[in-house]
Amino acid sequence: MKVSMDNMSYEDAFERLENIIAEMESGQLSLDTALQKFEEAIKLSRICRSFLDKARQRVDLLLRDEEGHLSLEQALLGEDLPSD
Amino acid sequence: MLFTGLNNTAVITVSELNRQVSSIIGLNLPWVRIRGEISNLKISASQHVYFTLKDSESQVSTVLFRSAASKLKFRLEDGLEVIIAGEVGLYEKRGEFRLVAQALEPAGIGALQLAFEQLKARLEAEGLFAASRKRAIPRFPLAIGVVTSDRGAAIRDILNILRRRMPAVKIILVPVPVQGEDAPAAIAAALRDLNEAGNTDVIIVGRGGGSLEDLWAFNEEIVARAIAVSAIPVISAVGHETDFTISDFVADMRAPTPSAAAELAAPDRAELQRDILMKMKRVRSSMFALLQLRQSELRVIHEGYVLRRFPEELAEYHNALQNSITVLDNLFRTSLAAMESKFISSVSALDMLSPLATLQRGYGIVRSIVDGRIVKHSDQLAIGEEVDVILFQGGFKGNVTEVRNESLHG
């Protein structure tokens, strides 16, 4: 199964990785397929790790303007909302 | 005449009589506090409340006008024992006296405590606390909504915990007052706004510690209902460990404190990183296990082959079977040879690839771009075909310019 990995969410990558492990541990795969899964697993683990490695926290404020429209605004973190 | 002694007394109207009685009552009973039990409770269309206050022997009509009634946190109901502060007045139109309640509180229990118990019982009866209504908190949220004050201790604690555990998670804060008259409606509106805005996986609603009055907004029905209808799972985190609010009961999960809510909402990245590492170890070891499995299968086939040779020898004595067995044996030889060569080539491909150690020694893996398969024989390739070569560090693509068919092992 070909899955586009470009926009894969962390959760999808994590779940796909769990599926691959189940398939590989079943011992039912041909060597060629296993090899493909092996490679896919490496890519998936990179997606997961690059997400986890993100270091910067982002805080947005959800505000409703006078016309009643909702908008997101990046919070300017002052003393009360400490940033690092 | 019966009333001889009163002959000099002026004759007055009924209205005049009632006015005089009214003023006597007013002068003698300016302000009273009375304890009694509510019965015959009625609420008029204009929201004035009428009931009979009684004890074991007597009763008195009582009215609680709308302005006073709307200030009550708890609900009036028949059988409720209350203490009323009010005035006694004459309802002149009917000539009946009645109690006009200005303030009313439950007897023997705090008003807020009673309001809490009443709302809790009512929502529970409605099924709002049912375990079956609780939604699971997502395992890997990308965005966490937070409904609390932007100045309180709660938001500071939540941000600190989330920054430490999972900085990749986005936080969407909807700043609201968490105490005071406007708080309940603002909190409910914030929950609706987050649902409308979307892109939020879980919501934390709450505040830091305070008195029962400070935490009261989270015991209001409007907040409880907003939590109940939220399509996004809600974690309630109000006050300290020992504070329980209606919000806690109706939310999908209760956290003892805002910090704990942050821990429940987001997984710990260090843990996940370890988990990914463990998973990759499993991927690698199952690759090796597969290799060993194929090897042992090959052994079984070899042994089977030897066993099946016996009938062929017996066939020397059974000429009738000779021909067919020869045919079968030939078939078997052919298929075994094919299986063996396929296995050896797969094994050698795997040997090169799986354990990076082999690649590290300077080997490469050649794959056909056309079908993605590993190239084991030059006759799999045509001149001009594009191939992908995997090396220990990186790889490259190239074109086949020459094909040689001689083998290294004869």
What is the ipTM, given to two decimal places? 0.79
* pLDDT for B48 beyond 80: yes
Residues of chain B with Cβ-Cβ distance to A9 below 8 Å are 140, 142
CB-based burial label for B164 (10 Å; 0-12, 13-18, 19+): middle
Residues of chain B with Cβ-Cβ distance to A31 below 8 Å are 290-291, 294, 346-347, 349-350
Residue bearing tokens 């203490």: B83
Chain A nearest C-alpha distance from B350 (Å):
7
pLDDT digits (tens, 9 = 90+) for A16-36: 999 999 988 887 887 778 878
* pLDDT for B15 beyond 70: yes
pLDDT at B407: 64
pLDDT at B336: 45
Lowest average pLDDT, out of A12-26, A45-59, B143-157, B233-247, goes to A45-59
pLDDT at B355: 46
Whether A24 and B287 lie within 8 Å, measured CB to CB: yes
Greater pLDDT, B269 or B7: B269
Identity of the residue numbered B346: S
Question: How many CB atoms are closer than 10 A to CB B104?
Answer: 23
Phi and psi angles of residue B80, each rounded to the nearest 5 degrees, phi first: -75, 130
Residues B128-267, CATH architecture: 3-Layer(aba) Sandwich (3.40)
Residues of chain A with Cβ-Cβ distance to B293 below 8 Å are 27
Chain A nearest C-alpha distance from B256 (Å):
22
Strongest mean pLDDT among A73-82, B99-108, B319-328: B99-108
Q: How confident is the model at residue B308 (pLDDT cuts 50, 70, 90)?
A: low
Residue ranges covered by each domain of chain B? 13-108, 128-267, 270-354, 359-410
- Distance in angstroms (rounded) separating the CA atoms of residues B282 and B275: 11
B372 and chain A: CB distance < 8 Å anywhere?
yes
Residues of chain A with Cβ-Cβ distance to B193 below 8 Å are 62, 64, 70
Whether B290 and A24 lie within 8 Å, measured CB to CB: yes
Rounded mean pLDDT of B335-364? 53
Nearest Cα neighbor of B146 from B93, B91, B86, B206 is B206
Question: How many CB atoms are closer than 10 A to CB B36?
Answer: 21
Phi and psi angles of residue B252, each rounded to the nearest 5 degrees, phi first: -70, -25
Strongest mean pLDDT among A70-79, B336-345, B392-401: B392-401
Measured at the CA of B302, the angle between CA B298 and CA B307, to 5 degrees, comes to: 145
Mean predicted lDDT score pLDDT of chain B: 83
Query: For B276, which of A37, A45, A62 is closest by C-beta distance?
Result: A45
Greater pLDDT, B105 or B365: B105
Mutate to test the interface with B, among A10, A28, A31 (most CBs of B within 10 A): A31
Rounded mean pLDDT of B254-265? 95
Rounded mean pLDDT of B143-154? 94
pLDDT at B121: 94
pLDDT at B352: 46
Nearest CA in chain B to A74: B172
Rounded mean pLDDT of B304-333? 48
Query: For B168, which of A51, A61, A64 is closest by C-beta distance?
Result: A51
B196 and chain A: CB distance < 8 Å anywhere?
yes
pLDDT digits (tens, 9 = 90+) for A48-59: 888 888 778 889
* pLDDT for B46 beyond 90: yes
Residues of chain B with Cβ-Cβ distance to A63 below 8 Å are 174
Rounded mean pLDDT of A4-21? 84
pLDDT at B343: 45
Q: How confident is the model at residue B322 (pLDDT cuts 50, 70, 90)?
A: very low
Contact A21, B286 (CB under 8 A): yes
Lowest average pLDDT, out of A60-64, B163-167, B228-232, B317-321, goes to B317-321
Whether A59 and B372 lie within 8 Å, measured CB to CB: no
Nearest Cα neighbor of B59 from B103, B97, B21, B31 is B97
Whether B290 and A57 lie within 8 Å, measured CB to CB: no
* pLDDT for B339 beyond 60: no
* pLDDT for B31 beyond 90: no
The b-or-e profile of B222-261 (16+ CB within 10 A means b, else e) is ebbbbbbebebbbbbbbbeeebbbbbbbbbbbbbbbbbbb
Greater pLDDT, A32 or B121: B121
Rounded mean pLDDT of B223-247? 95
pLDDT at A41: 86
Nearest CA in chain A to B193: A70
B185 and chain A: CB distance < 8 Å anywhere?
no
Give pairs for A68-77: CB < 8 Å, separation 24+: A70/B193, A70/B196, A70/B197, A72/B172, A72/B197, A75/B173
CB-based burial label for A13 (10 Å; 0-12, 13-18, 19+): buried
What's the CATH code, domain B13-108? 2.40.50.140
Question: How many CB atoms are closer than 10 A to CB B151?
Answer: 15
